[in-house]
């Protein structure tokens, strides 16, 4: 009942309509819940974590899951649950910060290439093609190899490898509207390029951009975990999920829980953003047949 009323009232706003559709989509709702849990955990980490993430207790090393330590302890006797909870902060930060940078750089390059065309288009897009000639994780590894293994550098690498996707997306949607009547009209009444781009071109690409951003955050979290696992990202004692897995390799035989739980955390974090991205795609594009 309530929903019906709301629908009628908000019918003019496509974003609110999409939000309603997202909430009705089973998988999208699941994604929303998982991402919600991740964000809440990250914000409330100091309150909900039962222990500190760096509190060591050698006497209690490699304890299996118990009532005191729900997910057990690691090789230094640190509480795994607490480390995973704090790890949510790091993974979320990596995802948000590195993708924001990719978004900013990629969108700017894509807009310039698409809107101005010509030599700009050629130079920028050839450059993107060259970046796409490398498998993403390999390019990220190469960049970290040069800059040095640090979480900050891993984030820079992840930002760089995700730029081409945004640039391509924005370029093609810019090209599709560049010569449409409403853009010509805006130009006719004297709007300058910046105004046209910000008020007319960009809003038109918003829907695919939101979807791409959400899915890219999932990829970024996974890539960062992979880099840290290889020892090229977050360094100990940072409670990064991938780094925790890397530490757990040597104790797999005697303490498999040390490896099991951080991996599950990565999986559900990534799954959340993937489901949300898929859900948003369906919600923002009502014309698409839902198969």
Partner 1 sequence: MLNYTLKRIIALLPIIIGVTIAIFLLVHLVPGDPAKTMLGERATPESIKAVRESMGLNDPLYVQFSRYVNKLIHGDLGRSVISNEPVINEIKVRFPATFELALFGMLFAVIVGIPVGIIAATHHNSWFDNISMMGALFGVSMPIFWLGLMFIWIFAVILKILPPSSRLSVGIALHPITNIYLLDSIIQGSWAAFWDSLKHLILPATVMGTIPLAIIARMTRSSMLEVLKKDYIRTAYAKGLTERVVVYKHALRNALIPIITVVGLQFGLLLGGAVLTETIFSWPGLGKYLLTGIYARDFPVVQGVVLFFAIVFVIVNLIVDLSYSLIDPQINYN
Whole-angstrom distance, CA of residue 95 vs CA of residue 273: 10
Position 290 contacts partner 1 (CB under 8 A) = no
The nearest distance, CB 36 to partner 1, in angstroms, is 17
Position 71 contacts partner 1 (CB under 8 A) = no
User: Taking a C-beta distance cutoff of 8 angstroms, is the pair 159, 105 a contact?
Assistant: yes
The nearest distance, CB 14 to partner 1, in angstroms, is 25
- Letters for 121-150 (x = contact with partner 1 by CB under 8 A, - = none) are -----xx-xx--xxxxxx--xx-xxxxx--
Whole-angstrom distance, CA of residue 247 vs CA of residue 267: 18
Position 275 contacts partner 1 (CB under 8 A) = yes
Q: Which two tokens stand for residue 149?
A: 């293994």
The nearest distance, CB 151 to partner 1, in angstroms, is 16
Q: What share of the chain is helix, strand, coil (3-state, %, to 5)?
A: 75, 0, 25
Residues 11-40 that bind partner 1 (CB under 8 A): 27
Residues 251-270 that bind partner 1 (CB under 8 A): 252-253, 256, 259-260, 262-263, 266-268, 270
The nearest distance, CB 20 to partner 1, in angstroms, is 23
What crossing angle do the helices spanning 151-178 and 118-132 adopt, rounded to 10°? 140
Residues 186-245 that bind partner 1 (CB under 8 A): 218, 222, 225-226, 229-232, 242, 245
Which of helix, strand or coil describes residue 198? helix
Give the binding-site size for partner 1 (rule: CB under 8 A): 45
Whole-angstrom distance, CA of residue 241 vs CA of residue 51: 17
Position 291 contacts partner 1 (CB under 8 A) = yes
The nearest distance, CB 93 to partner 1, in angstroms, is 18
Q: Which residues contact 2 (CB under 8 A, 6 or more apart)?
A: none
136 closest CA partner among 115, 162, 111, 114 = 162
The nearest distance, CB 271 to partner 1, in angstroms, is 4
Backbone angles phi, psi at 73, to 5 degrees: -125, 160
Judged by beta carbon, residue 120 or residue 127, the one nearer partner 1 is: 127
What crossing angle do the helices spanning 206-229 and 257-284 adopt, rounded to 10°? 170
The nearest distance, CB 52 to partner 1, in angstroms, is 25
Q: Which two tokens stand for residue 275?
A: 């489901």
**Distance between start and end Cα atoms, the chain:** 28
Judged by beta carbon, residue 112 or residue 218, the one nearer partner 1 is: 218
Residues 148-177 that bind partner 1 (CB under 8 A): 148
- The residues that touch partner 1, with contacts defined as CB under 8 A, are 27, 126-127, 129-130, 133-138, 141-142, 144-148, 218, 222, 225-226, 229-232, 242, 245, 248-249, 252-253, 256, 259-260, 262-263, 266-268, 270-271, 274-275, 291
């Amino acid at each position: 009942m309530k929903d019906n009323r709301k629908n009628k009232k908000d019918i003019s706003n496509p974003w609110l309509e999409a939000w309603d559709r997202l909430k009705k989509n089973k998988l999208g709702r699941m994604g929303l819940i998982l991402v919600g849990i991740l964000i809440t955990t990250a914000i409330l980490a100091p309150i909900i974590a039962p222990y500190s993430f760096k509190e060591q207790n050698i006497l209690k090393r490699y304890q299996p899951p118990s009532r005191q330590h729900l997910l057990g302890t690691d090789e230094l006797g640190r509480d795994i649950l607490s480390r995973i909870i704090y790890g949510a902060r790091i993974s979320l930060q990596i995802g948000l910060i590195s993708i924001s940078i990719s978004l900013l750089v990629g969108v700017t390059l894509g807009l310039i290439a698409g809107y101005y065309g010509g030599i700009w288009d050629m130079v920028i897009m050839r450059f993107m093609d060259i970046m796409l000639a490398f498998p993403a994780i390999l390019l990220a590894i190469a960049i970290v190899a040069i800059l040095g293994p640090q979480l900050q550098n891993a984030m820079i690498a992840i930002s760089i490898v995700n730029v081409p996707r945004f640039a391509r997306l924005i370029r093609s949607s810019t090209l599709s509207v560049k010569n449409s009547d409403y853009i010509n009209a805006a130009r006719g009444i004297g709007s300058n390029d910046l105004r046209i781009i910000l008020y007319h071109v960009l809003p038109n690409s918003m829907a695919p951009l939101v979807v791409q951003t959400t899915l890219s955050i999932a990829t970024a979290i996974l890539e960062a975990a992979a880099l840290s696992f290889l020892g090229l990202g977050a360094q100990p004692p940072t409670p990064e999920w991938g780094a925790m897995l890397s530490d757990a390799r040597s104790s797999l035989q005697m303490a498999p829980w040390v490896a099991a739980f951080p991996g599950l955390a990565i999986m559900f974090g990534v799954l959340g953003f993937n489901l949300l991205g898929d859900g948003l795609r369906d919600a923002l594009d009502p014309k698409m047949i839902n198969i």
